[in-house]
Amino acid sequence: MKLSRIEFLVMNNPGRRWVQKHFEFRIFKDFLKQYNLDLTGKTILDAGCGSGYSSELILKELKPAKLVAFDLMPEQINLAKKRNLNADFFVGDMTKIELPASTFDAVFVFGVLHHIPDWKKALAELSRVLKPEGVLLLEEVKGSFVEAVGHCGFKHPEEAMFNWTELENELQSAGFKILEKRKIVIEIFKSFLCLK
């Protein structure tokens, strides 16, 4: 599902980038350090990359050999390409990722699943493109909060208003083992480290 105009503006502002860098990405880096997972020289996918700021953080901080990134919205990919990063950007759908199976050592997803009506299929696709023992770093928002902000001009599919138990069960059904989870803001936002 594409972002509404209001969400597009919210997702592409300095405040959002600050949160992504100092909270979401920092937690992902902590997870990797805690489990001694070094992604230097690896192949990484940034799924639902938006304007490419997350891709920029991944390249700068983790030094992968190759970074591939996609988003459903051409407008976001146009912004990402303007960053002139050493990454392969394309318009794509997380429920049918047009990339070969077992391609990536790690996949990053920064708060995208709650935009996808068939989020369970998206998780299965993320598992498909990850190599065995591949790492999934996922940040998400709780369904009840998504529902509440719907009254402020944010449009999200009802099918994707999952709770934490539903998300964790589906991660396991898609073939992931949850190694670590951490709340970002009370119980509204959580980050997960999973292994395929």
pLDDT in tens, 120-141: 999 999 999 999 999 999 999 8
Helix axes 53-62, 25-34, angle to 10 degrees: 30
Report the alpha-carbon distance of residue 40 to residue 61 in Å, rounded.
9
Q: Which CATH number fits domain 5-14+44-195: 3.40.50.150, 3.20.20.80, 1.20.1630.10, 1.10.150.130?
A: 3.40.50.150
Report the alpha-carbon distance of residue 94 to residue 92 in Å, rounded.
7
Domain boundaries, given as residue ranges, for the chain: 5-14+44-195
Once rounded to an integer, what is the mean pLDDT over residues 14-38?
91
Q: What is the pTM of this model?
A: 0.90
* Burial (0-12, 13-18, 19+ Cβ within 10 Å), 81: middle
* Burial (0-12, 13-18, 19+ Cβ within 10 Å), 17: middle
The kind and range of the H/E element at 29 are helix 25-34
Average pLDDT, the chain: 89
